[in-house]
Structure 1
Amino acid sequence: MTETATEWTGDSAQGNIRRRYWLSALAKGVVTGAIGGIGAFTYNMSELMVAPIDPLLVLGITALAGVYAHLLADGLHESIRVGLIGFFTGGITMVGVWVAPLWILSYTNGARDLLLPQLTGTAVTAAIIVYSSVFLGAYLSALTIDAYAST
């Protein structure tokens, strides 16, 4: 007796499952990364905060984003994908937010050309030192604790 292919066993259904899996990992990574990047930017530019909040509490948002990058994933493979996507998205978000006032405010082209290298260098340095250490540290800590707890 031959078995007919149904929607559940066809190649197109497998492609849809893979597409949804990647879109899910991409969405989780982008959201956690953007939240972590904004948190790290706010920590670095704490003098711009209006409310008298301790900057370490704001840095905790970046750490929570790293933890959630692991906790939101369904398995280890997705966790690694979400963590990597979140890490790079957060770094790009942080640098982008840091440099964005050059185009949002009315700077002249000459002033923008002079300020862009300095702001970009400062933003990349802060992203490497603050964001990467906090986000990756929290992500890898959550990964280690989860691996230890599951054995």
Structure 2
Amino acid sequence: MKTLYRTLLFSAGVALVATGCASGPQYKEIASSIPTLASDHGRIYFFRADAFGGAMIQPEIKLNDQVVGRSVAGGFFYVDEAPGDYTVSTATEVKREVTFTLHAGDTKYVRTSISMGILVGHITPTLDDPDTAPKEIENLKYTGVKTGTVTQ
């Protein structure tokens, strides 16, 4: 009886954690449908590594105070924007930000990472290395808005 109880408890725990992870197609499944970047815009990829801890914490990601998506463990999405100065922010117990300038033709990568908080984890956005970030995104699932084909 104890074994059955433990098995059921473990299965419920796995299911609970899985609901907090990204669902959707992997990058490789949608890569060919991601539109070419317009010459007068820049692209910003937002991503969060697939992590066991904190998967249920999925705060909004804001770009210049406008919600563009959520920080979902194991997920990524992107937005195309006009050149300019941008602030990416997330908030749980505290607000965390990163700022940068986007130029036409640029691609920026914003990683969101979880750290311990008092009541709930903190999600912190940081600019990531343009040489290594694309390789990590290849293993993640697309969490952006879909309207017919892949869009931001």
Aligning the two structures, in what range does the TM-score lie when normalised by the shorter sequence? under 0.3
Structure with bigger strand share is 2
Larger radius of gyration: 1
TM-score by length of 1: 0.27
TM-score by length of 2: 0.27
Structure with bigger helix share is 1
